[in-house]
Chain A
Amino acid sequence: MAWVTPPTFTSGLVASAANLNILSDDLAYLKGVAEGPNAPFQSVVFTNSGTATYHVRYRYPYLHYKYVVSSDPGDDIKIKVNGTTKYSDGAPGEGTVAGYVDLTSMALTPGSWYPVTVEWMKSANSVLTLWYLLLANVTSL
């Protein structure tokens, strides 16, 4: 339920059910924010080439990612949503990368689940640490 600006009451007016219900709904909104689950995204460390699979219920357009390549440059990294490559780096150098991809053009169905995969190809001693994969309604976390 979306936030609705609380009404301004004036003397002499009836406190309508609709206006009082806005107060109730807004309390429910804030309660929902306070009670939300707090499950963390657990980092994954790839010491070998491989694929990690996740699932996301599509609600917001921006898929945020952050990872670190260490020890040596990697060979390739891809992030796929529902089988479509949305992010790719064919020569990932050592360092930290953070960004997001806009999933709007995929015309995904809000409320439906989709697989998200991270495919990593190592090179020499390279290590990938995937810090997070998050869906958000904003481009800046």
Chain B
Amino acid sequence: MARQWGHGDTVPAADLNTVSTELTALRDAVKDAEIVACVPDKYGTGNKYWFVHRYRWLHFKSTGQLKNAGATQQASLTPVNDTYTSMDLHSINWLAYGDFYQVVGCDMASEEDTP
């Protein structure tokens, strides 16, 4: 088990190696396959996508609105050149990580960790 250090403790190689060994064991327990599901297109007019905010960037296509769960706060989603567009959700001051929110009117929407 990885050691917990206190102020003034030394850092022996053996203790650091314990951390390396445990990290390696965790990595070995994770499979190498990286799989992502295709994102569905909208189902008809008024389609909504519901998210729990986890990643910084919202990717979307076509004009729509981003609303909080109760639809009391909203922001416009305007695509660039009518194609896939990403929005920095840090720019939405009423949206915090973990919040439940909705995207309305877009052809597709997906939260991503990169723009």
Across-interface contacts of A133 in B (CB, < 8 A): 37-38
Mask, B90-115, CB within 8 Å of A = 1, is 00000000000000000110111010
Residue of A37, A59, A113 touching B111 (CB-CB under 8 A): A37
Across-interface contacts of B59 in A (CB, < 8 A): 57, 113
Chain B at the A interface: SS class:
mixed
- B37:A57 contact, CB within 8 angstroms: no
Give how many A residues have a beta carbon under 8 Å from the other chain's beta carbons: 45
Across-interface contacts of B33 in A (CB, < 8 A): 136-138, 141
Least CB distance from B89 to A in Å reads 14
Residue of B17, B26, B37 touching A40 (CB-CB under 8 A): B37
- A: residues with CB less than 8 A from B are 3, 5-13, 15, 23, 26-27, 29-30, 33, 35, 37, 39-42, 52-57, 59-60, 64, 111-113, 115-116, 132-138, 141
